[in-house]
Structure 1
Amino acid sequence: MNWDNIFKTLEKYTQYKHYLLLFDQYKLPRKQSRDEMSKVLHEAVTDEGFIGSIMSETAMDEWLALHQKDGNNYSFVYNLQEKIQDGLLNNLYVSRNKYIKLRLWDINPHNESEDLNSVMPNLTDITLVGIHRNENAGTYTFSFVSPCEVTGSRADGSTRVFKKVFFSHCVFFDNSNDVKVIFNPTSNLQHVNGVRKERFDWTPIANMVFNKVQEYIGGVLIVAPNWIPQALYKFAEEATSHNNPKITAASFNAQEMIEEFAAEVLKQAGVDTINEPALISRLIQDIQISFESQLFEIYSVEEEKENSLTIFKQRSDGITHIISVESTEEGFKIGPAAQAARRSRQDGDIDLLGVNLKTNDRMYKFLVEQGTDAYLIRGTNTFIEEEVVNIVIRRLNEYRTKIQVAAERHIRSEEGTSFPEAK
């Protein structure tokens, strides 16, 4: 292993939290700085001691290629029409050395030269540097590096272009048709391997990685995430639910009174409630929302003990309604923002949701957004472990299954109704 290149890569791209995850796994002593951590890591791999090294070179090579999957990343989640052929991913993993032509430690990331052709001359294309298997998670991960160009500054403050390493990963799951493309949204990016993002849209970069992995697994067809607005609606409703039987009972008991009150108010205003059923339904709904919101203020909101969720941002129909709340504790559970968010969900499809996830006594903050080919989960300047993102994916998959089952039942019901007429 070329430790000179490894040290340079660690210095440029590895965060302190990346070290912490690895050091906890191997029970290595923590240090105060990244530089000290890199020295401990070097010793753990190279010091044979009496019974061999603490960490093998193979494990080090795998971690080096894989560790950037955790962080302030974007995760694009595609859904395949059909699962990958049985055994294909495992065969690629077993024969990975046949496909990996470049190791990350073969690359010297020093990039001060303004002659970009002389910087990392062996990194000229998106390149496979690892195929990994995680038995516990049931995943196969293909790790890639690509050349990218970013704008930066010279010592005198003038602008110049730097060549850097762009890390990306493509993750396949044993128990679903999902495929996840992960990368860090590099600041001041010009392009990745000649591919440019579209303003704030990183889809072209994600598609480049997704297309590259198909060189190894073969061509695939994807299912557009048209179900995401419904799933985000269910996500928001569940995340903002009070989970309090007192509120449920009070709301149920007041239902008839609210309906009568709404009808009477409209009659007093000269509205024909018989010919305007949509209007009265909307008023009833608004009163119910306001009533429950007041109950939230009086009674406590029951939180989930594990993987509790709150909402801090909601966007409907692109830009029609954007509602945000700064509180990371209550989110849209109580207060005026909660009422506005619930009303907005009734009026249009949700295409973006800001989610706070509390797990293992830590709060994670990220956005879930609909896309054309894939939906996107992106961090908001927070270091997020890959497994935390998977919690959200699993929750969305639960909603997707319910949506699909309901749609199939509806189709069967319509077919059953129309069948006698077809005779």
Structure 2
Amino acid sequence: MNWDNIEKIMRMYTQFKHYQILFEKYNIPKKGSGKEMLATLKEEVFNGGLLLPLISNEEFQDWIAYHQIDGNNYNYVYYLKEKTSKELMANLFSKQNELVKFRLWDVNIDTESGNVDKKFSGTELIKVLYDAENKRYIFSYIAPCIVTGKDKVGQTRIYKKIFFAHCVLYEEGHYCKVVFNPTANLIEVDGVQKENRTDWSPIADMFFNEVQKLIGKQILNSPNWLPQALHKFAEEASDHNNPTIHEYSFRVEEEISNFARNILISADINVELNNALHTKLTQDIQQSFESQLVEKYGIQDDQNSFSLFKQRSDGVVHNITVESIYGLRKGVAAQAARRSRTDNDIDLVGVILSLKGKTYKFLVECGLDAYLIRGNNAFIEEEVVDIVIRKLNEYRDEIQSAVFNNQKDRTGDPIFAS
């Protein structure tokens, strides 16, 4: 292993938080800077002295290959029609020494210009890792990318950097997750450009195609179920969780329905011929009543709970964002969000996750072949993203089950949500 190259790569790409995660895992005392942690890490891996190093050479090689999987990353989630064979993935893992022709430490960075050397010219598989605890395989890749930047005198220049990406496949899951950091001022990754300023799906597709060279061509199930899942997510995440409010709201449901009916009748509207209008007015009144109860009795938080700070329906037509500590759970914005998702499909939500005393914010967005989970300009551990994926999978299973049962009731021939 070429430590000189590794050291230059870590100085440029490894964040302080990356070091913290590793040091916590191995109970190594933390330092005050990334530079100090890098020096400590070198000592622990290579200079154990009379004692065995806390981090073995093999463990360090695993970590350096996949550590960029945590961070301000984009996570594209592809749903596969068939599960990838466990035997195939285990075989790929066992023979990775034959598959991996290029290592991360083979990349040399010019310390003056920041450019990587010319022999790094295409996408390379650098590691296959098996995570036994979570029953998944991580295929780690690097590719050369071209970006714009400024030189020492402020002139615009073009230079080549390392683009890290990871394809994660699960033994028990029908999906593949492609994870990478959206490099600023990107022109292209190994010849592939973004669709537009914000659409990174061509880059994700490029790496998904790379892993398919190993696991075989996959048939995708388009995430058509996601708008419905995001609606369920939004309803649950914006709920007040207050049983007192639920009780009072349930108690007056019939009264509110009759009130809505009488209002329509007073406006010379035939309720029997305009049932949809009656239902909509009843819902609006019920929601307004609950909003007032929230102001009176408050919301109740779980220790580990979701809430929303953003909701978008029909592209950019209905876009609601709030910076309140309550998210979209109380106030005028919460009422507007509930009304919007009653009448429109949701294609994006901004999620706040409170977990073990920390707060994380990220966006979940619909796509054609995959949906996207991306950070909100903050470092997010991969395990946090997986919590959201598992939650969406629960909603997907509910939707799929409902479709199955409805179709079976009508025709006897079940179908599945794609």
Asked if 1:127 is matched to 2:124, the reply is yes
Asked if 1:108 is matched to 2:108, the reply is yes
Q: 1:394 aligns with which of 390, 397, 416?
A: 390
The answer for the alignment partner of 1:414 in structure 2 is 410
CA deviations on 1:318-340 (whole Å, 9 max, x unpaired) are 1221111112x311111111100
The answer for the alignment partner of 2:256 in structure 1 is 258
Equivalent residues of 2:79, 2:221 under 8 A apart:
yes
Q: How do residues 18-167 of structure 1 correspond to structure 2 at under 5 angstroms? A: 18-110=18-110, 112-113=112-113, 119-167=116-164
CA distance in 2, matches of 1:131, 1:244: 47
Asked if 1:285 is matched to 2:289, the reply is no
CA distance in 2, matches of 1:271, 1:320: 30
Q: Please state how far the C-alpha of 1:373 moved relative to its aligned partner.
A: 0.4
Could you say what secondary structure the match of 1:315 adopts? strand
Could you say what secondary structure the match of 2:97 adopts? helix
Could you say what secondary structure the match of 1:319 adopts? coil
CA distance in 2, matches of 1:6, 1:111: 12
- Seen in structure 2, the aligned counterparts of structure 1 residues 112 and 190 have a Cα distance that, compared at 3 Å, is farther
Could you say what secondary structure the match of 2:48 adopts? coil
Could you say what secondary structure the match of 2:55 adopts? coil
Equivalent residues of 1:111, 1:163 under 8 A apart:
no
Q: 1:242 aligns with which of 240, 243, 252?
A: 240
Equivalent residue letter for 1:290: S
Equivalent residues of 1:111, 1:162 under 8 A apart:
no
Equivalent residues of 1:45, 1:56 under 8 A apart:
yes
Q: Please state how far the C-alpha of 1:304 moved relative to its aligned partner.
A: 2.0
CA distance in 2, matches of 1:255, 1:48: 70
Q: 2:331 aligns with which of 335, 343, 352?
A: 335
Structure 1, unmatched stretches of 5+, are: 418-423
Equivalent residues of 1:131, 1:141 under 8 A apart:
yes
User: How high is the sequence identity, in percent, across the aligned residues?
Assistant: 50
CA deviations on 1:181-210 (whole Å, 9 max, x unpaired) are 000000000000000001210000000000
Q: 1:184 aligns with which of 171, 181, 184?
A: 181
CA distance in 2, matches of 1:334, 1:3: 54
| C-alpha RMSD of the superposition | 1.4
- TM-score of the aligned structures, taking structure 2 as reference length: 0.96
Could you say what secondary structure the match of 2:245 adopts? helix
Could you say what secondary structure the match of 1:197 adopts? coil
CA deviations on 1:109-156 (whole Å, 9 max, x unpaired) are 226459x7xx42221111000010111111100000000000001222
Could you say what secondary structure the match of 1:87 adopts? helix
CA distance in 1, matches of 2:274, 2:35: 70
Q: Please state how far the C-alpha of 1:416 moved relative to its aligned partner.
A: 5.2
Could you say what secondary structure the match of 1:142 adopts? strand
Q: Which moved more, 1:25-34 or 1:195-204?
A: 25-34
Equivalent residue letter for 1:57: N
Asked if 1:172 is matched to 2:169, the reply is yes
CA deviations on 1:336-380 (whole Å, 9 max, x unpaired) are 111000000111110100000011110000000010000000001
The answer for the alignment partner of 2:416 in structure 1 is none
Q: Please state how far the C-alpha of 1:18 moved relative to its aligned partner.
A: 0.1
CA distance in 1, matches of 2:109, 2:345: 45
- TM-score of the aligned structures, taking structure 1 as reference length: 0.95
CA distance in 1, matches of 2:311, 2:258: 32
- Seen in structure 2, the aligned counterparts of structure 1 residues 372 and 259 have a Cα distance that, compared at 3 Å, is same
Q: Please state how far the C-alpha of 1:60 moved relative to its aligned partner.
A: 1.1
Equivalent residue letter for 1:380: N
Equivalent residues of 1:229, 1:349 under 8 A apart:
yes
The answer for the alignment partner of 1:374 in structure 2 is 370
Equivalent residue letter for 1:382: A
Q: 2:310 aligns with which of 285, 288, 313?
A: 313
Q: Please state how far the C-alpha of 1:55 moved relative to its aligned partner.
A: 1.3
Q: Please state how far the C-alpha of 1:413 moved relative to its aligned partner.
A: 0.9
CA distance in 2, matches of 1:294, 1:253: 15
Asked if 1:233 is matched to 2:231, the reply is yes
CA distance in 2, matches of 1:101, 1:400: 39
